[in-house]
Amino acid sequence: MLARASINKWRLVPAIERGDLRGAVTVSLRKTLISEYILTILMFIFTAVLTTFTSPPADFGIDEGDDPDVF
């Protein structure tokens, strides 16, 4: 994702600022921005799945003989 962002910053955006509005430059910029958005969403989904399904077991310190209403 950082590589795509650096391509945007150092090649595609300066080309547009110089007035090079060829279809290839704008299409490339559009594709890299869309791919960055998709990668960001996938990272959020991946993080949500990992934190939901791989949480440590909830023990809360209750032993078999303890009264659970005390806690």
pLDDT of residue 50: 84
Please give the Cα distance from 8 to 26 (Å, whole number).
Answer: 11
Specify the higher pLDDT residue, 53 or 65.
53
Model-level pTM? 0.58
Instruction: Please name which of 21, 25, 20 lies closest in space to residue 7, comparing C-alpha atoms.
Output: 25
pLDDT of residue 60: 59
Sign of the dihedral through C-alpha 23, 29, 32, 35: negative
* Single-letter amino acid code for the residue at 69: D
Q: Dump pLDDT digits (tens) for 32-55.
A: 889 889 999 999 999 988 888 766
Chain mean pLDDT for the chain:
78
pLDDT band at 3 (very low <50, low <70, confident <90, very high): confident
